[in-house]
Amino acid sequence: MPTLRFYALKETFNRVPVPVTEPERRSEIFGKNVFNETAMRQYLTKDSFKSVMDAIENGSKIERHIADHISTGMKEWAIAKGATHYTHWFQPLTGATAEKHDAFFETMDNGQAIEKFGGGQLVQQEPDASSFPNGGIRNTFEARGYTAWDPTSPAFIYGTTLCIPTVFVSYTGEALDYKTPLLRALQAVDNAATAVAKYFDKNVTKVNATLGWEQEYFLVDSALALSRPDISLAGRTLLGHSSAKGQQLDDHYFGSIPARVLNFMRHLETECMFLGIPVKTRHNEVAPNQFELAPIFEETNLAVDHNSLLMDLMHKIANKHNFKVLFHEKPFANVNGSGKHNNWSLATNTGINLLGPGSTPMKNLQFLTFFINTLKAVNEHEELLRASIASASNDHRLGANEAPPAIISAFIGSQLTEVLDELEKVTSGKLSPQEKTDLKLNVVGKIPEILLDNTDRNRTSPFAFTGNKFEFRAVGSTANCANPMTVLNAIVAKQLIDFKVEVDALIKNKKMKKDDAIFNVLKEYIKDSKRIRFEGDGYGDAWEKEAKKRGLSNHKTTPEALKAKISKKTISLFEDLGIMSKVELEARYEIEMEDYAMRIQIEGRILGDIARNHVIPTAIRYQNILIENVQGLKNIYGTDFKLFAVEQMQLIEQISEHIAKINKGITDMIEERKKANKIENIERKAYAYCEEVKPYFEIIRYHCDKLELLVDDEIWPLTKYRELLFTK
């Protein structure tokens, strides 16, 4: 009996829910470990508080002498909360968060010590950037990187450490993180959206992009996870035959949450409350042992920070409950994968959701303006949107089972489609009073009514309008939300800038009234963006053929998709908006291509190891048992033994055939890896891993999975799907 698998199962069967303590009211602990407005009022001087709030609301600079006062107040608050260290908390291009802890402790000349934390330590630090991905924009002798405080995202205490959210840039000033371009994109969409919103309300002075993410994940018992080298090292199963029962009966979705899992969720939510992460929703997802949690919407920069913090927190809390969290988009074959739906909208400082229909025709014209401009932006930059969610792990999910396809399209529902069809019929030029009245009352004015019961949500659409927001569903569960949010906010900013130019030109040159000009431009945008709108099922050859006719891209692999990130169109977009330079874009392209190649390389090594060191020896061991059985039958029955050993001999032959094909697959895969590893050009290397190495994965897996069905369960070494997915 293989000890590891069965010891792991035995340990799992003996698990009981870990006790947790929850507060009576979550509102009482919400944000307790966050240096938020309440804490700042208590620990900062009036001038310091005002300076921070001006920086948050208006982007104004904090003077150095004020930073000294802020750091003193922040230090006193943190120490009062039990903090002993501080760190600049940032998000490098590894996809994880990073931190270097320094103690508040400082020695003095007289042999005594004090707690010290100055303005300089708050505002900037100089960590070594040499071991973070840089895409060739940093020479070896320029190893320094700089982290700079981002006051728009509040500091927080994590354990006994004061964490200060920061941006991370190179010695030469290029962005080396996800946050820097995101902040620039948010500034761009703020400026562009505010200018357009003033058509409808002169009191609007700021527009915030809002984000509500939905985090899907799997939970596997930690002992079972450790018994699988592929889960431990790659975060997914590289082989394993499907369980006889999977998700066919839909009995897991929204079902009763298992006791151990519920205690994990309760513990996680309590910690989230202390950190100011407003998690609200929890439930079982479609696949066995798959779950989801979602927060209340927040300003995008803060929401991105909170999601990154949450993922780290989930790993730590799961460990305490003897679970391993799997964020991989497709950890198990033939069951639903995990996404991170990004629900995006725009909100004004006057409290209006610009993608929410209003109570008057004017408010609905405002809604249509931002709604149609978003569709136009998606239509113009669908390849870039696809590139923003590309990764080796998300390639497994896009187009499989429940997930959206790799083709970017927008679903808006039949009711809004009818509204756009009516608007498309608007007369070009100035509208007659009767036409304008009819348009506002019967078309624009009725939008809230038609959306009231519009609950038809196409679950296969990668980009869907869901009542008062757009839901970017193609984002993968491992992703840092900053990547797709930088792109989405950038393309919408560019589109709104172009829209305002066109409207203003009609008002100035054609002497049109504002409403007439807006209707005329929107009418053309509706025509232009028709190809991106799709109401049908996103699966199958029919949609692929239709998408090809429409000229939509269908990049099924990451190397294909990422090319859009360095196209002339993309470089022009980001440079014009001041979000990223050509150098920064090319560096990120290289980093992501290299990441892709390395992940496929690692998975190939893991698969070869498991197949040759676990699967084949076990198959041979079982084959020897069968051979002994056949020899025994021969000893008893002589020449008639074949009558009684037909099945055994067939099994022996089948096992030999599968072993041979596994060995050949691994040998051929290794040869292709060797060729790929010699390629210096990272783009060509990524394509080699994608097209020459990766195809062997399915070949090797197929024969390993067949052996799993043939070999005696008592000696099979790898924890099976039924055990991973159905052990609660």
CA distance 337 to 327: 9
| Residue 140 pLDDT | 44
Q: Which amino acid is at 370?
A: F
Give residue-wise pLDDT tens across range 470-519. Answer: 999 999 999 999 999 999 999 999 999 999 999 999 999 999 999 999 99
| Residue 194 pLDDT | 98
| Residue 401 pLDDT | 53
| Residue 652 pLDDT | 96
Q: Which of 142-180 are b and which e, b meaning 16 or more Cβ less than 10 Å from the residue's Cβ?
A: ebebbbbbbbbbbbbbbeebbbbbbbbbbbeebbbbbbb
Whole-number percent of the chain with pLDDT over 70: 95
**In three state form, how does the secondary structure of 552-596 look?**
CCCCCCHHHHHHHHHCHHHHHHHHHHCCCCHHHHHHHHHHHHHHH
Interior CA angle at 419 toward 418 and 423, to 5°? 115
Model confidence at 129: pLDDT above 80 = no
What is the residue whose two structure tokens read 């009211």? 25
Token duo for residue 182: 């995101």
CA distance 273 to 306: 11
DSSP annotation of 108 reads: -
| Residue 454 pLDDT | 56
- Three-state DSSP class for residue 353: strand
CA distance 353 to 340: 22
Give residue-wise pLDDT tens across range 296-329. Answer: 999 999 999 999 999 999 999 999 999 999 999 9
Give residue-wise pLDDT tens across range 507-563. Answer: 999 999 999 999 999 999 999 999 999 987 766 778 889 999 999 999 999 999 999
Token duo for residue 498: 């172009």
In terms of Cβ atoms closer than 10 Å to its own Cβ (0-12, 13-18, 19+), residue 615 is buried
Radius of gyration of the chain (CA): 29
Q: Which amino acid is at 223?
A: A
CA distance 154 to 163: 9
**8 Å CB contact between 723 and 9:** yes
Question: Which carries the bigger pLDDT value, residue 305 or residue 128?
Answer: 305
Per-residue pLDDT, averaged over 632-657, amounts to 91
CA distance 171 to 447: 52
Give residue-wise pLDDT tens across range 237-265. Answer: 999 999 988 888 878 888 899 999 999 99
Please state the pTM of the whole predicted model: 0.95
151: Cβ contacts below 8 Å, ≥ 6 apart: 52, 55, 56, 62
Average pLDDT, the chain: 92
CA distance 706 to 697: 14
Q: What DSSP element (H or E) covers 146?
A: strand 145-149
Query: What residues does 282 pair with on adjacent strands?
Result: 293
Give residue-wise pLDDT tens across range 321-369. Answer: 999 999 999 999 999 999 999 999 999 999 999 999 888 888 899 999 9
CA distance 334 to 353: 39
Nearest residue to 385 (alpha-carbon basis) of 494, 301, 307:
494
Question: Which carries the bigger pLDDT value, residue 273 or residue 642?
Answer: 273
Token duo for residue 651: 């099994």
Confidence label for 455 from pLDDT (cuts 50, 70 and 90): very low
Q: What is the dihedral of CA 464, 469, 471, 475, to 10 degrees?
A: 140
Model confidence at 144: pLDDT above 60 = yes
Nearest residue to 365 (alpha-carbon basis) of 375, 354, 376, 374:
354
Token duo for residue 93: 């291009």
Nearest residue to 528 (alpha-carbon basis) of 563, 510, 502, 509:
502
| Residue 477 pLDDT | 97
Looking only at Cα atoms, what is the longest distance across the chain?
105
**8 Å CB contact between 330 and 183:** no
Give residue-wise pLDDT tens across range 366-406. Answer: 999 999 999 999 999 999 999 999 999 999 998 665 568 89
Give residue-wise pLDDT tens across range 66-119. Answer: 999 999 999 999 999 999 999 999 998 888 898 889 999 887 777 787 888 888
Query: What residues does 220 pair with on adjacent strands?
Result: 324
Give residue-wise pLDDT tens across range 683-707. Answer: 999 999 999 999 999 999 999 999 9
Q: What is the dihedral of CA 127, 133, 136, 139, to 10 degrees?
A: 20
Model confidence at 414: pLDDT above 90 = no
CA distance 626 to 709: 15
Ramachandran quadrant class, 470 (left: phi over 0; alpha: psi -120 to 50; beta: rest): beta
CA distance 56 to 67: 14
